[in-house]
A and B are shown apart, each in its own frame.
Chain A
Amino acid sequence: MSWIQESKLKWYETLAVNVLKCGSIPKHVAFIMDGNRRFANKSGVKKIEGHSKGFDKLTEVLHWCLLLGVNEVTVYAFSIENFRRSEEEVDQLMSLAREKFKRLLEEKDKLNEHGISIRVIGNIGLLPADLQKLVVESMESTKSNTEAVLNIAFSYTSREEMTHAVREVAWGVQEDLLKIDDITEDLIQKCLYTRHSLQPDLLIRTSGEVRLSDFLLWQTTCCTLYFTPVLWPEFSIWDLCRSILHYQKNLPVLEKALKNSCDGRRQPISENMDRIEKFLSKMEVKESRTRNQILTQA
């Protein structure tokens, strides 16, 4: 199935979307796409078929999000913990990923036309080399798009992300680009994989589990978390509308409970700012070099 869905909504679905748009729409929604294997079990098909249906559902949901005016979506596709699954299942998932990223590259013109930028967040160094190359190519070919962003958390855990941020900061201190006192919550945030994104406003987890499972822990401190018992491949536009209605209802109460600025960001002192800016741009250069290495490897 294509990454870009262009199916039209039924009239009553369009009505629901337009009604919801009268309230505030979250700018960034995160999804934990849970329940593919339970769906496969329920339908009597193989697990990999469940995951494939899960991908199809993802493309549908992205289409609905665009219609609703949600500009950024982050999805939890594969956790580092999932490497602990059976070798057979992991290989099947990697093959599915290869197939989908290859398809993405084939459709890059369509993605560019819609202005969609793809970012893969996570420790991609843990993936097979050929998949790493596909991932980096997908990111490079869509990086100049600004209309909408899809962040795919692949080989990701939040704790690994936070550790990576600490390592980057340590590199900065070692290279004399930073001082220890420059290390603040704000700086750590700027070293996370998600540094180019806004924090999510709404996180939806399907299949009835009520935990975050090491997903965007740092980024969801002021977020509305919506847990629904529906399995991911069965997630409908009505489930999405219901979650957005919950977000709209929750927002004023949440803002009241938080009162002050959510992350309590303390602005860095101006003399540090130059140093921090220099460190951040050197970090980007380092990352860019790593990506080029992946692209040019055989």
Chain B
Amino acid sequence: MGILRLLYVILHFFITYIHNLHVALSELVDRIKPVIKDRTYHWPADCHVLLTATTVKLGANIKDESLLLQKIGSELKRLDKLPIHVACLLTETDVNIDRMIVIIQWFVSMGVYCISLYDHEGCIASCQDEIKIKLKGLVENLPNGLRSKSIAVYKGFVKKEFFSSDSINIFLMNHYDGKSLFTQVAQRIVDELNYSQIDQSVVEQAINQFYPKEPELMVQFGSLLSNTTLGYSPWHLRLTQMMRAPNHTRLRVDHIVSTMLEYGSCQQRFGK
């Protein structure tokens, strides 16, 4: 029995090692060449051609990138597949603020004006001032039509009366903005209502007093092998599409493009 057990342990080590190699190799390949994931996108043919033609040029010219992202954003909007709110989940311990600003810029160029940045520990939330300052510089790099938009940076969830849907809204969150929001809302509901008056629409209405609302898309940055939510507000993740992207420090624009295309090709059946 001892020998058999030893054999199993050796084999386990072996498959884990092979799996590690496989993951490292995929990351290496990904660093070398931009890849738009091979998936049947239900896209108009000319958009697909544009994407294939410009893949090699990505990263070379900011103006080209900006135009490409605008084109993708407008196509997604036309197909009713542009997320209103994108949640960015950071799993890395070291956060590179400059990189995050660039990523926000990419999303804004596509037409996503509500972005939440979440990390479990709160590193992002503690850099609120630095982010505010650096975001001011972002406005110059935005396409013409967006330069007049103001940028608002909030910590955690914010009440409806303090929120403006005309600005570009960035929310900085950590795990204290997760289940604890629901608990606070529950306390308020219990204080004001009889238990027989409480139903799902009451709770929904109470939670909708806070912004941001449900994210349509959650992008998880970092090296975790599988998806996870790391404590992001559970009520808000009912129908959120969850996708993964590489570590935010080495994220390229084609990764974001690939993620948005994949999001665009997802079909929601809503139970039907």
A185: chain B residues within 8 A (beta carbon): 179-180, 182-183
The answer, yes or no, to whether A262 is at the interface (CB within 8 Å) is: yes
* A109 CA / B189 CA spacing, docked (Å): 45
Q: Are B182 and A188 interface neighbours, CB within 8 A?
A: yes
| B120 nearest CB across to chain A (Å) | 6
The answer, yes or no, to whether B238 is at the interface (CB within 8 Å) is: yes
Which residue in A19, A159, A169 is a CB contact (below 8 Å) of B11?
A19
Nearest opposing residue in chain A for B267, CB measure: A209
Which residue in B180, B222, B242 is a CB contact (below 8 Å) of A225?
B242
Q: Are A221 and B239 interface neighbours, CB within 8 A?
A: no
Q: Are B271 and A85 interface neighbours, CB within 8 A?
A: yes
The answer, yes or no, to whether A217 is at the interface (CB within 8 Å) is: yes
Q: Are B12 and A213 interface neighbours, CB within 8 A?
A: no
Q: Are B242 and A221 interface neighbours, CB within 8 A?
A: no
Interface size on B, residues (CB 8 A): 57
> In chain B, residues 157-188, which have Cβ atoms closer than 8 Å to a Cβ of chain A?
175-176, 178-180, 182-183, 186-187
A22: chain B residues within 8 A (beta carbon): 8-9, 11-12
Find the residue from B16, B176, B189, B190 having the highest chain A CB count within 10 A.
Answer: B190
Q: Are B271 and A82 interface neighbours, CB within 8 A?
A: yes
A248: chain B residues within 8 A (beta carbon): 16
B175: chain A residues within 8 A (beta carbon): 264
Known: A81-B270, A185-B179, A246-B225. A258 touches B12 (CB 8 A): no
* A180 CA / B185 CA spacing, docked (Å): 12
The answer, yes or no, to whether B203 is at the interface (CB within 8 Å) is: yes
B187: chain A residues within 8 A (beta carbon): 180, 183
Nearest opposing residue in chain B for A208, CB measure: B266
Q: Are A210 and B266 interface neighbours, CB within 8 A?
A: yes
| B258 nearest CB across to chain A (Å) | 14
* A264 CA / B176 CA spacing, docked (Å): 9
The answer, yes or no, to whether B25 is at the interface (CB within 8 Å) is: no
Known: A214-B238, A262-B231. A163 touches B200 (CB 8 A): yes
A166: chain B residues within 8 A (beta carbon): 186, 189-190, 198, 203
A218: chain B residues within 8 A (beta carbon): 179, 234
The answer, yes or no, to whether A101 is at the interface (CB within 8 Å) is: no
* A249 CA / B21 CA spacing, docked (Å): 12
Q: Are A258 and B230 interface neighbours, CB within 8 A?
A: yes
Choose, from A42-50, A56-64, A144-152, A170-178, the stretch at the interface: A170-178
Q: Are B9 and A225 interface neighbours, CB within 8 A?
A: no
Known: A173-B190, A180-B187, A188-B183. A217 touches B235 (CB 8 A): yes
A21: chain B residues within 8 A (beta carbon): 8
> In chain B, residues 103-119, which have Cβ atoms closer than 8 Å to a Cβ of chain A?
none
Q: Are A174 and B12 interface neighbours, CB within 8 A?
A: no
The answer, yes or no, to whether B241 is at the interface (CB within 8 Å) is: yes
The answer, yes or no, to whether B121 is at the interface (CB within 8 Å) is: yes
Which residue in A159, A162, A257 is a CB contact (below 8 Å) of B230?
A257
The answer, yes or no, to whether A196 is at the interface (CB within 8 Å) is: no
Q: Are A245 and B230 interface neighbours, CB within 8 A?
A: no
Q: Are B183 and A184 interface neighbours, CB within 8 A?
A: yes
Q: Is the interface of A mostly helix, strand, loop or mixed?
A: helix
A183: chain B residues within 8 A (beta carbon): 183, 186-187, 190
B186: chain A residues within 8 A (beta carbon): 165-166, 169, 183, 188
| A204 nearest CB across to chain B (Å) | 10
The answer, yes or no, to whether A140 is at the interface (CB within 8 Å) is: no
Q: Are A245 and B182 interface neighbours, CB within 8 A?
A: no
* A67 CA / B19 CA spacing, docked (Å): 23
Known: A19-B11, A84-B270. A221 touches B178 (CB 8 A): yes
The answer, yes or no, to whether B26 is at the interface (CB within 8 Å) is: no
| B246 nearest CB across to chain A (Å) | 14
B232: chain A residues within 8 A (beta carbon): 221
| B221 nearest CB across to chain A (Å) | 11
The answer, yes or no, to whether B138 is at the interface (CB within 8 Å) is: no
* A59 CA / B111 CA spacing, docked (Å): 47
* A22 CA / B199 CA spacing, docked (Å): 47
Q: Are A213 and B239 interface neighbours, CB within 8 A?
A: yes
| B210 nearest CB across to chain A (Å) | 15
* A15 CA / B91 CA spacing, docked (Å): 34
| A24 nearest CB across to chain B (Å) | 11
> In chain B, residues 258-272, which have Cβ atoms closer than 8 Å to a Cβ of chain A?
266, 270-272
Per-residue contact bits, chain A 249-268, to B (CB 8 Å; 1 contact, 0 not): 11001101111001110000
| A192 nearest CB across to chain B (Å) | 11
Find the residue from A163, A184, A220, A256 having the highest chain B CB count within 10 A.
Answer: A163
The answer, yes or no, to whether A167 is at the interface (CB within 8 Å) is: yes
Q: Are A249 and B225 interface neighbours, CB within 8 A?
A: yes
* A257 CA / B183 CA spacing, docked (Å): 24
The answer, yes or no, to whether A8 is at the interface (CB within 8 Å) is: no
List 8 interface pairs A-B (beta carbons < 8 Å), by A numbering. A23-B16, A84-B272, A166-B203, A170-B193, A185-B180, A188-B186, A221-B179, A222-B230
What are the nearest 8 A-B pairs in CB distance? A81-B271, A170-B195, A22-B12, A217-B234, A225-B227, A171-B195, A19-B11, A170-B190
